[in-house]
Structure 1
């Protein structure tokens, strides 16, 4: 079974405006409320692909109930730790060609709450896969993902990691099976500049060799991605299209790689499907559909380096 962990979920309140005018009354053309958070998005996209998963993490209050209800409606199983405080609300304002985000304050996760999550993970087996995705709330230590990956490794469970900053720098010490930084995050990991594909490959190989990470997928938005594995390097160029939605594109890529890897155990096919899935979401107002991904798949240029 695939499990996704979202430590810092949110209700995403997306507001579409003609123009955003600070200090004025702004009236929306339309709005949308969604269950948000990177791990939750991975579960949603996996469900779209016909792959079952169980969503874990922390939710609380009326906003937490909204997330649980949304997953119930989407027929996605979940087993969240219940918090005293409300899950945060993130406001995303979309006006003309600009997007403005206001991220809410995360609820406090106490030691007993974290212990409940660890207890749930302790019951998993080596046949399971765990996706750890998104930011960490300030109440959790920056090394939380590192601790969770270490716990999973002890049980022989593969971990898929998608985070950034200090939590990513800490977590790679524990050798997750897969990570998906973008080229900027990759550069920050090593304190170096990335100017070309050769720089990306060189730093990604360090993640393979020094940190024993099997799969490294470096995303570059409209420029596609580079996959660096233990025994192959692949350059993938994204299909052409108009980007209308940045939310969930990276999560769709993670879900796409995992879905196709589970099916084929072929890294080239998995990376190609990941880029198609990320692009399909970027070209859509909401998350991708399987049909959209299949259509774009043949437009992803693949070159083995």
Structure 2
């Protein structure tokens, strides 16, 4: 079974405005509401690729009820913990000449709520996959990912961590199966300026020395790079298409990589499907569909 954890899911209110200006009334010409959250995004793409998941996390208030209903409509099996104080976030994603985001606060998660999450995670067994992705709310201890992996260390699970800074660095000693920093995040971790692909590989291997088994580096318009646990480096270009949406593209890459690896344990195939999944979401108004992912996969292979 694949488990995803979203500490702070949200309703994403995505609006388009022509030439947005501050200090005046702006008229929306297009609007959508999506259920947001990095773990939820991973669960949806995995569902599209034929894999069942259990989406865990915390919800509260009337917005939390909408989040749970939306996850169900997405065809994802949600198992959320209801929090008493606060409400699930509403995030505003403004698309205009530039993309702007205003993210809400989210509910107050207590220690008792965290123990409920741990109880659900304890049900995991050998070779199950756990995806920990995104930032964490300020009410949660900043070592929570580390604590989760420590508690599950004896279960021999596949841990996938998509986080930044110390949140990522602190889990490396638990030897996560996969981490997905981008080049800028690597620069922040090591306080360096990467000069090219050779440097990216060098510092990806340093992350392996710190504990990561596989390091997937997203390079935005320059594609992606994987340093796998066998010492091999894999390089992948980008899918061809018009970028419409950056929200969820990285999560889609993670989901595609997991699905590709679970198919037959081939890292090159995992990187291909991850790249195709990320590109398909970037070229869509929301998260990508199965058919569009495989269309991008065919095009990606045709351009190699």
- Assess same fold via TM > 0.5: yes
DSSP-derived class of the 2:171 partner = helix
CA distance in 2, matches of 1:217, 1:290: 22
1:222 is matched with: 221
The 5 A counterparts of 1:145-294 are 145-208=145-208, 210-231=209-230, 232-294=232-294
DSSP-derived class of the 2:139 partner = coil
Shifted more, 146-155 versus 101-110: the winner is 146-155
1:92 is matched with: 93
1:65 is matched with: 65
1:75, distance to aligned residue in structure 2 (A): 2.1
1:270, distance to aligned residue in structure 2 (A): 0.1
1:132 is matched with: 132
CA distance in 1, matches of 2:72, 2:223: 33
DSSP-derived class of the 1:112 partner = helix
TM-score (norm 1): 0.95
- Check the 8 A contact 1:225/1:275 in 2, yes or no: yes
1:194, distance to aligned residue in structure 2 (A): 1.1
Shifted more, 249-258 versus 39-48: the winner is 39-48
DSSP-derived class of the 2:152 partner = helix
- Check the 8 A contact 1:217/1:228 in 2, yes or no: yes
CA distance in 2, matches of 1:286, 1:77: 19
CA distance in 1, matches of 2:175, 2:107: 29
1:39 is matched with: 39
CA deviation profile, 1:93-113 (whole Å, cap 9, x unmatched): 111x31110011132111000
CA distance in 1, matches of 2:141, 2:176: 18
DSSP-derived class of the 1:80 partner = strand
2:111 is matched with: 111
1:21, distance to aligned residue in structure 2 (A): 1.5
1:301, distance to aligned residue in structure 2 (A): 6.5
DSSP-derived class of the 2:25 partner = coil
- Check the 8 A contact 2:173/2:211 in 1, yes or no: no
CA deviation profile, 1:20-60 (whole Å, cap 9, x unmatched): 11111112112111110100100111112121111001111
CA distance in 1, matches of 2:125, 2:195: 42
CA distance in 2, matches of 1:72, 1:108: 24
1:76, distance to aligned residue in structure 2 (A): 1.1
1:287, distance to aligned residue in structure 2 (A): 1.1
- Tell me the C-alpha RMSD between the 2 structures: 1.7
CA deviation profile, 1:238-263 (whole Å, cap 9, x unmatched): 12222110000000000000011111
CA deviation profile, 1:162-220 (whole Å, cap 9, x unmatched): 11122112222322110111111112112211121001100111122x22322110001
CA distance in 2, matches of 1:199, 1:18: 40
- Check the 8 A contact 1:224/1:237 in 2, yes or no: yes
DSSP-derived class of the 2:226 partner = strand
- Check the 8 A contact 1:204/1:228 in 2, yes or no: yes
Aligned residues: 302
1:8 is matched with: 8
